[in-house]
Amino acid sequence: MSRALRLARRGLYCTHPNPRVGCVIVADSGKVVGEGFHVRAGEPHAEVHALRAAGERAYGGTAYVSLEPCSHQGRTPPCVDALIAAGIRRVVAAMQDPNPQVAGSGLRRLAAAGIEVDCGLLEAEARALNAGFIKRMEQGLPLVRVKLAMSLDGRTAMQNGQSQWITGAAARAAVQRLRAQSSVVLTGADTVLADHARLTVRPAEMDVNEEQARLAASRPPLRVLLDSRLRVPLSAPFYQAGKALTVCHQASAKVRQSFQAAGHELLAAADASGHIDLFELLRLLAGRGVNEVLVEAGATLSGAFARAGLVDEYQLFVAPKFLGSTARALLDLPLERLGEAHALSILDIRAVGEDFRIIARPL
């Protein structure tokens, strides 16, 4: 199963909206006879790749798969049928399908066909690999990851806005990988205007092997810009860098046409108070198959996600320096009493080049 998960991880940058899944077929002799991973939506599932590689050697063998095999006809035929047809004797899944309406039905169909079935091996690892997909299936919302680059004293830029290259090359490569694994990279107008940010994935800067860079390039995330008053011109590098989805308060037919003509999508969405409703936006994105959203924005928009309780994970890239007490705050998050502090759970701290990265989740 550990091997199946490692295979699944090879799809980190390309399977969305589908989950990352790996499969290993082990013959009765204990020998691995086939393996595979899901690469891209519309293409064969991991089980199919593994069964093809195994051929007749799959007969009587065990299939280790990091997610319950599907039992429904989607863009590809059900994997359950393929496993039964190949004469697999036993199926071990790391976890059930997270869709509450289908969870367990694939395993039940295998069992009904006389196949020995087990589920739950390395389940925590399997769930972590597809946390966004699982959240979308279970809650109809994508996983929201907020990335921030800060100094050791919690500042993101000087008062005058100076902030370029706070963190080093290794941290920037890690951010590229975070973008590549996301279905959506979401930002705000201030960031795009101030930094001329494009927020694209540049595979050559990801510091991954050729296969991974190629897979990432084949499935770039959708870039979503929150620009209530449409301050960012279509001539900005952000729009020149490829198709984007822009969310604003309102737009005339003429503006809509200009966006359409430039290959972008424009969405007018404001709540009663004239703000963009982040929760509704996330629901809308989930409805489009978005599993993981990376928020790469300034203190205002990142703070809005934090205040609304919509953050699943913070990725804090911390540079070993002090920017001082007049520098800009990490998040626009005004709190009065200690009891209002946002409690977090630290999942990981590790060095990333000269910097370090803290992964934390709100408690």
Contact residues: a second copy, CB under 8 A: 150-155, 158-160, 162-164, 166, 299, 303, 306, 316, 320-327, 329-338, 340-346, 349, 351, 356, 358, 360
**Of the two residues 41 and 333, which places its CB atom closer to a second copy in the complex?**
333
Q: How far is the CB of 229 from a second copy (least distance, A)?
A: 23
Tokens standing for residue 175: 């951010």
Between CA 16 and CA 293 the distance in angstroms is 11
Other CB atoms closer than 10 Å to residue 217's CB: what's the count?
16
Residue closer to a second copy by CB (options 7, 316) is 316
d(CA 69, CA 49) in angstroms, rounded, equals 13
Whichever of 259 and 305 has its CB closer to a second copy, that residue is 305
Burial classification of residue 149, based on how many CB atoms lie within 10 Å of its CB (0-12 exposed, 13-18 middle, 19 or more buried): buried
Q: How far is C-alpha 40 from the geometric centre of its chain's CA atoms?
A: 14
Examine the residue annotation and report whether 280 is marked as an active-site residue of this protein. Answer: no
* Beta-bridge partners for 149: 317
CA distance 259 to 281: 19
> Which residue among the candidates 47, 68, 292, 313 is catalytic per the annotation?
47
149 carries a ligand binding annotation: yes
Phi, psi of 32 (to 5 degrees): -75, 120
Do the annotations mark residue 79 as ligand-binding?
yes
Using an 8 Å Cβ cutoff, are 179 and 185 in contact? yes
* CB 122, min distance to a second copy, A: 24
Was 296 annotated as part of a binding site? yes
C-alpha dist (Å) from residue 231 to 106, 161, 225, 248: 49, 18, 11, 10
Of 53, 79, 84, 76, the closest CA to residue 66 belongs to 79
Rounded to a whole number of angstroms, the minimum distance from the CB of residue 347 to a second copy is 10
Residue 165 labeled ligand binder: yes
Q: Which is nearer to a second copy, 140 or 320 (CB)?
A: 320
**Nearest distance in Å: CB 342, a second copy:** 4
Residue 23 annotated in ligand binding:
no
* Residues known to be catalytic: 47
Annotated binding site for NADP(+): which residue ranges? Answer: 149, 165, 191, 195, 199, 228, 298-304
Which residues participate in the annotated binding site?
A: 45, 70, 79, 149, 163, 165, 179, 191, 195, 199, 202, 228, 296, 298-304
User: Annotated binding site for substrate, which residues?
Assistant: 163, 179, 202, 296
